[in-house]
Chain A
Amino acid sequence: MKNEELAPHIKDITRALNGKVSEEEVERELQQWIGSYGVNLAEAKRSIVKKLGGDPQSLFTRTEKKIEDITGLERNLELKARILSINEKDIEVDGEPKKIHYGIFGDDTGTIPFTIWEPLPEPLDKGDTVHVINAYANTWNDKPQVNVGSRAKMEMLDDDEVPEFKREPQRCNIIDIREGMSQLIVLGRVLSVEKKIVQTENGEKELFSGILADETGKVQFSAWHDFELKEDQVVEIEGGYVRSWRGIPQFSFDDNAQVKTFDDDELPPKDVLEESGMMTISQLARRGGAVDAIVDAVMIDIKNGSGLIFRCPDCNRVVQKSACRIHGKVDGEPDLRVKGILDDGTGALTVIISREETEEVLGYDLDEAMQLARDRMDHGIIKDELEDKLIAQPLRVKGNVTCDDYGLMLIANQVREKKVNMEEEARKLLDEVRV
């Protein structure tokens, strides 16, 4: 773990020990427990406090923290923050529909994503300042976030009680865009844009969404104000922020942002940028998904539920032993797909290949696959053929990559064998090695 990431934990431990032990000593201990013994962070903190004569419980007593000090392990977190963005989301808890809110908190030290799991005591809006007591923090994608649960309390504060977070706007290549970023300056070409009307708490709103690209990659954008964006235009947006929508990070900006148009030759033409977005799987994991990404990787596993499958006519779920999980015995409708694991040596992700692309891989269509399975009296034959064609095969796969608690998933809309000039690549590497 990086030293700067350890710093807030060192503060926690020193505080729990009432300053009886120096931060240097705590740091040495922590490095040893984590670095040398590989003990997990929570256990290491507890054990160190105990070892150095403190009460581990005091690690969890209520502490008011600044956002930059939040580690993701806090159990009784107190926080004064400004709401930089807030959105509503419908989820299902134990089969019951529930409304939750999520967004980004900010103070003078930084910003952090939050989720409010209970109904709001009073409506909250962007720009409001709140005092949160008894919240807890966890991490998602290695980044801390704040949860306001049923034990928590929230009170409104006067506007001047939370200093504004004034970070200088930062320039950012599109490939480096990550969830939770704010105050970004992004230069890109508009690959597509369309106007949508969406329902929000405050009634109908206009939303202009599309895809923005530079040489490094592509990102979905949402403009909550009509900047008269046009397809193929090169623009620079100052003051945008990033949040995840349906598992894909999205670059959002509103009337607080400034949009400047640039000369056309500032960026390569549209058809070149369409092909940008080549990413390694570790980049995708750090970023938390991407729109229209291109991944070079090897298929190293094909999961059950691949090949010739049958779907419930009512809910589209995959039917097992001619029974749907929800609708019982049904006449399943045949379909083809691949559910596999792609690995590029930097990371791994689940890939879903649609019927059209699966037919392309097989070289025949669904009807023929059905015929083949009937002839051999074995549905598994199609999965076998797919394994034969795809496993160990270097592939170039295009599609949207979503990110949730179960990891990364690439919904492929194009799958091609990767062509490599082995000799050329080997010579290039050899030249680098021999320098």
Chain B
Amino acid sequence: MSMIQREVAWRLFAKEFNQSTMEISGNENERTPSYVVTPLGAMVNRVYMVGVLTETENLGTPEDPMWRARVSDPTGTYFVTAGQYQPGAATTISSLEPPSFVAVVGKASIYRPDDETVLTSLRCECVKEVSEELRDYWILEASRSLKKRLEAMEEAQRMEEVSVEELVKLGYDADLAEGIKRAALHYSSPSMDTYWSMLEDSLMYVLPEYERTPVEKEPVEEEEVEESDLEELILDVMQEMEDEHQNGIDYGDIMNEVMDRENISESEFEEAVKNLRSLGHVYEPALGSLKRIY
């Protein structure tokens, strides 16, 4: 008998996960697990991620719930589901108030509603509200993991034919080497530059010079601070753009739209957004994007 090994929980940024289109189906009788294979060769059965809960919705009924939550990291958004077979997770999700920092353990799955669409999601095993500090720590872990895959993939791209054995000789785990080989066969070569800059941006996010308004659980309400006209305008513009940008609206797009309508400078815009954030009217679900809080 070979040892029963629990599947590892990958620290994986949403963007890499959501760009996956390859899966290996397991067999319950043979107890072989299923995997989602990412473009950088992570063979993912389970994910551990910490991010911002931005939305929760019960697609089922109160008796037979099917909760769906959106959880963002600096690169994108995970879809997390919890139904009657994950009662603990479903109860927790139902009680959480977005936005808040949450840690999620979930099983990776791929769903293809039609030939062209590939949807990735996590079936939630465990979810818990956590501190901002733990989210930053997770970004570090996910960055380290991403860096290793990027380096392994670059080694693989230098090879005439990707060899698991060669990768192991270079010091990579056999599981990762296997995943890299499968990914290299399935995906047309991933855009490495994009991933490298995603890694850099994510790490910057943890640094103090990256301007981040400290999160205040209870928005200050005692003194009703009136928004300025410019701030009103930004909120209106965001409301208009919201329908097409559920995950948050690109910072630059909002700025362009607002500057089209009002003769203001970039720094005036930045100042106004900063105020809106500190008033708790908008937040940043992912790097470089904004979303309204109602």
Contacts and interface: CB of A to CB of B under 8 A. Distances in A.
Are A and B part of the same complex?
A: yes
Interface in B164-187: 164-165, 168, 173-174, 178, 181-182, 185
Contact of A282 (B130, B147, B173, B204): B173
B196 to A, nearest CB: 7
A345 B136 contact: no
Interface string B129-140: 010011011011
A407 interface: yes
Contacts of A423: 206-208
B9 interface: yes
B165 A4 contact: yes
Contacts of A120: none
Contacts of B24: 38
A36 interface: yes
A429 interface: yes
B112 interface: no
Nearest to A393: B134
Interface string B1-18: 111111111110000000
Contacts of A4: 165
Given A3-B165, A422-B140, A298 B48 contact: yes
B61 to A, nearest CB: 27
B11 A1 contact: no
B203 interface: yes
Interface in B198-216: 199-200, 203-204, 206-208
Nearest to A288: B3
Interface residues of B, number: 51
Contacts, number: 117
A363 to B, nearest CB: 18
A423 to B, nearest CB: 6
Contacts of B199: 433
- Chain A facing B: main interface SS: mixed
Interface stretch (A105-113, A139-147, A180-188): A139-147
B81 interface: no
Contact of B128 (A348, A391, A432): A391
Interface residues of A, number: 47
B103 interface: yes
B125 interface: yes
Interface string A50-87: 00000000000000000000000000000000000000
Given A345-B10, A426-B139, 10 more contacts: A3-B163, A281-B8, A341-B6, A391-B103, A391-B126, A392-B130, A394-B134, A394-B137, A405-B4, A433-B203
22 contacts: A2-B174, A4-B165, A38-B24, A40-B32, A285-B5, A300-B126, A301-B126, A348-B5, A391-B103, A392-B128, A394-B137, A403-B3, A405-B1, A406-B4, A407-B5, A420-B140, A423-B208, A427-B207, A429-B203, A430-B200, A432-B147, A433-B196
Interface of B: 1-11, 24, 30, 32, 48, 50, 103, 105, 125-126, 128, 130, 133-134, 136-137, 139-141, 143-145, 147, 163-165, 168, 173-174, 178, 181-182, 185, 196, 199-200, 203-204, 206-208
Interface of A: 1-4, 35-36, 38, 40, 138-142, 281-282, 285, 298, 300-301, 341, 343, 345-349, 387, 391-394, 403-407, 420, 422-423, 425-427, 429-430, 432-434
